[in-house]
Structure 1
Amino acid sequence: MRVAVIGANGRVGQILCQLLKKSAKFEPLAVVRDQNQKNYFEQDLGIEASLTSIEESSVAEISDALKGCEAVVWTAGAGGKGIERIFTVDLDGAMKTIEACQKGQISRFVMVSAINAEKRDAWWSTALRNYYIAKRTADFALRCSGLEYTILQPGSLGSESGTGKLCQLDQIQSKKSDFYLIQREDLAQFIQLVLENPEITAQKTIPLANGDSNMQEILQQI
């Protein structure tokens, strides 16, 4: 399966692309926004890359960049660079990519969102309100798109080695995202499992945090 990774140059995206490259089941396409990033993926990692700015490109241009792909993983984000980029990346960029998948008849879409994005009470009075408004709206658009979606809602992202363990789904309560942590390596690994198991994960929204259960056990809870 050829999988486009939007936001491939982010830390989760880089880990995911390398996992997919090692798998016999997948062929990653790294979607990046500048030439240096493209060179890094193609020359250093041996991964095909598309030079496509999700912010600046039209729906038609994004659709052209995704030709030949059977699935899209959205891992892009503004990364704390201000409200304008929250709107152009997390909101409009995500929605343009959803439209591009509809246009190009790419049915499978995995969205990396944020924990409790649909629960306004959890974030309305926090400094992350604008970010969560964008995430919630993009998630809603994906649910209404007709695509075969999975929305992953991770807690705060850590940079240590992955544990391979996740929190049981029924134990994740509606709290601020700081209460929950997931290592980026674990998030990337779970994205791969989602791609491998569409019959279990399609049309589902899945909160994610590190815990004591192995990932296969979590899959069976979905």
Structure 2
Amino acid sequence: MSRIIVFGGHGRIALLLAPLLVARGDEVTSVIRNPDHIPDVEQTGAQALVADVEQLDTDALTEIIRGHDAVVWSAGAGGGSADRTYAVDRDAAIRTMDAAGAAGVRRYVMVSWIGSKADHGVPEDDGFFAYADAKWAADEHLRGTGLDGTILGPGTLTFEEPSGLIALEPEGHGEVARADVAAVIAETIGNPSTFGRTIRFGNGTADTAVPIVDALSA
């Protein structure tokens, strides 16, 4: 059994992830900002922890993370103002990485996006720029830590039924079912072959898709 803390615990992917982890015997703490979301989280079998990561400093986050075996960052500002996007997707994410290091929790899984690259190509006058810029900064910070980090870059998220299959470095936007993203996270957490890697993926096609466990061990 592992103790796993998931930031962004009420997100659609996190709500799909928690039952997968609980079913295999893991103890899951899902961090949420809104106490109204406690029942939704508890239905997954996870323990809800109400905390605003946008407001908490590194010391406070260290105490929240301490005692866990792995951290999953699946939180985000969800669009809106650029200032809040930077505050959550970049700054708060970075604080949790630093807090994980301070708490002695080496395993850290970042849920990013398929286009998170230095040359992501999003122009500064595009409303998506702040997200692209913030995620790249957070991903780069993780690469520079001493954590056993993995950056997951799923493509365009869909509500399709899960296939259990993915393709690495897919062409185009890399459409992928949210449930398959959750399954990738679950498989990644305890898979040492994913440490230090950036894994960009989508559901692929019949010719390119392989079982998730096989793709991650490639």
TM-score scaled to structure 1, two decimals?
0.89
Note the 1:33-112 alignment, pairs <5 A.
33-42=33-42, 44-112=43-111
Distance 1:67 1:16 in 2: 21
SS in 2 for 1:72: strand
Aligned residues between the structures: 212
- In structure 2, the residue matched to 1:220 is 217
| RMSD value, Cα | 1.6
TM-score scaled to structure 2, two decimals?
0.91
Contact 1:7 1:74 in 2 (8 A): yes
Distance 2:187 2:8 in 1: 19
Distance 1:110 1:121 in 2: 21
Match of 1:210 among 203, 207, 211: 203
Higher mean C-alpha deviation, range 32-41 or range 4-13: 32-41
- In structure 2, the residue matched to 1:12 is 13
Structure 2: give runs of 5+ residues left out of the alignment: none
Distance 1:93 1:146 in 2: 18
Contact 2:10 2:40 in 1 (8 A): no
Identical pairs, percent: 32
Structure 1: give runs of 5+ residues left out of the alignment: none
Distance 1:32 1:47 in 2: 11
Note the 1:16-31 alignment, pairs <5 A.
16-24=17-25, 26-31=26-31
Instruction: Return the offset for 1:116.
Output: 2.4
Distance 1:102 1:121 in 2: 28
- In structure 2, the residue matched to 1:152 is 152
Distance 2:110 2:165 in 1: 21
Instruction: Return the offset for 1:46.
Output: 3.6
1:131 paired with 2:124, answer: no
Q: Which has the higher helix share?
A: 1
Contact 1:150 1:201 in 2 (8 A): yes
Contact 1:5 1:75 in 2 (8 A): yes
- In structure 2, the residue matched to 1:172 is 170
